[in-house]
């Protein structure tokens, strides 16, 4: 079974306006509500691709109930730890002459709730997959992903880590099966600018010597590169299209690659093709992409 972990789920309120006047009253052209968070987005995209998963993490209050209900309504099994106080965060995404995001911090997660989550994850078995996605809430130690991977050490579990900053750097020594940094996150890890594909691949090889295994780097409009443990890197350009929404594109890529490993029996090239198709389809959609849009791009060779 595939498990996705979202430490800080959210209700995303996306608002559209031709222009925004700071300090004044603004009338919106339209608005949408999305229930998710990075790991939940992965579960939703996996379901779209025909792959079951269990979504776990923390929820709180009436917004947490709404998140759980929305995810469950899609046929996705949930196993969230419910917090006794606070409420799951509400993020505001302003779409007006660009993208402006106002992301809340979220509820305080007590040690007792963290212990319940770790107890739940300790029950994962050989053959399972765990996808650890997103930033770490301020009330949780930055070492949480490292601690989870350490907890699972010795089991045959495929682990995917898609997290920024210190949470990622601390966890690499626990040898996650796959990490998925974007270019800026990779540059932060390496402490230097990476100006071309060769420098990106070289940086990934250095991270592999520190414990990382496979590395999937998302390069936005420049495509993606997969650096496997053995063999040459696989480089794919991005699909061409008009950017509508960048939220969830990276999560879609993680879901596409994970689903591709199952669908194509471990074929990394085909899994990467599905990953870039899923990421591109979401970028060209107002929300997370639908299967027909993903498969349409998958059947195309990315434009060079």
283-to-76, 96, 253, 257, 302 alpha-carbon distances in Å? 23, 17, 10, 16, 15
Give the span between the Cα atoms of 194 and 161, in whole angstroms.
21
Under 8 Å CB-to-CB from 300, ≥6 apart: which residues?
Answer: 239
- CA distances (Å), origin 190, targets 126, 164, 233: 32, 13, 18
Task: Single out the catalytic residue among 69, 251, 267, 293.
Answer: 251
In 209-256, where do the E strands start and end?
A: 214-218, 224-227, 234-236
Q: What are the CA-CA distances from residue 251 to residues 122, 264, 275, 288 (Å)?
A: 24, 20, 10, 9
Question: Tokens 């998958």 label which residue?
Answer: 298
Instruction: Return the sign of the alpha-carbon dihedral for residues 184, 271, 175, 283.
Output: positive
For 126, phi then psi, to 5°, come to -50, 135
Active site residue 251: yes
Q: What stretches of 122-267 show up as alpha helix (H) in DSSP?
A: 144-151, 165-171, 183-190, 197-209, 249-263
Q: What is the dihedral of CA 249, 109, 65, 61, to 10 degrees?
A: -130
Assigned token pair, 256: 């596409």
CA distance 270 to 260: 7
Beta bridge mates, 129 = 2, 158
How crowded is the C-beta side of 59, counted as CA atoms within 13 Å?
22
- Catalytic residues, by residue number, are 251
């Amino acid at each position: 079974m595939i498990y996705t972990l979202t430490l800080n789920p959210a209700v995303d309120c996306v608002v559209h306006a031709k222009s925004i006047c700071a300090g004044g009253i603004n009338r919106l052209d339209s608005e949408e509500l999305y229930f998710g968070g990075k790991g939940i987005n992965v579960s939703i995209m996996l379901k779209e691709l025909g792959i079951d998963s269990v979504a776990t993490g923390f929820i709180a209050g009436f917004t947490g109930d709404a998140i759980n209900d929305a995810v469950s309504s899609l046929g996705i099994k949930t196993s969230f730890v419910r917090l006794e106080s606070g409420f799951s965060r509400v993020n505001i995404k302003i779409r007006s002459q660009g993208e402006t995001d106002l992301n809340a911090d979220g509820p305080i997660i007590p040690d007792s709730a963290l212990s319940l989550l770790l107890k739940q994850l300790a029950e994962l078995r050989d053959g399972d997959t765990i996808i650890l996605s997103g930033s770490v809430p301020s009330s949780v130690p930055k070492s949480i992903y490292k601690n989870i991977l350490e907890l699972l050490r010795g089991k045959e579990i495929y682990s995917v880590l898609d997290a920024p900053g210190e949470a990622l750097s601390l966890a690499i020594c626990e040898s996650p099966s796959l990490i998925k940094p974007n270019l800026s996150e990779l540059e932060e890890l390496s402490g230097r600018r990476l100006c071309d594909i060769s420098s990106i691949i070289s940086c990934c090889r250095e991270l592999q010597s520190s414990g990382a295994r496979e590395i999937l780097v998302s390069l936005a409009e420049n495509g993606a590169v997969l650096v496997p443990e053995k063999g040459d890197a696989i480089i794919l350009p991005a699909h061409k299209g008009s950017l509508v929404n960048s939220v969830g594109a990276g999560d879609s890529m993680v879901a596409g690659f994970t689903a591709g490993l199952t669908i194509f029996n471990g074929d990394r090239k085909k899994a990467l093709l599905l990953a870039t198709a899923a990421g591109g389809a979401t970028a060209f959609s107002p929300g997370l992409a639908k299967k027909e849009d993903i498969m349409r791009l998958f059947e195309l060779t990315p434009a060079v």
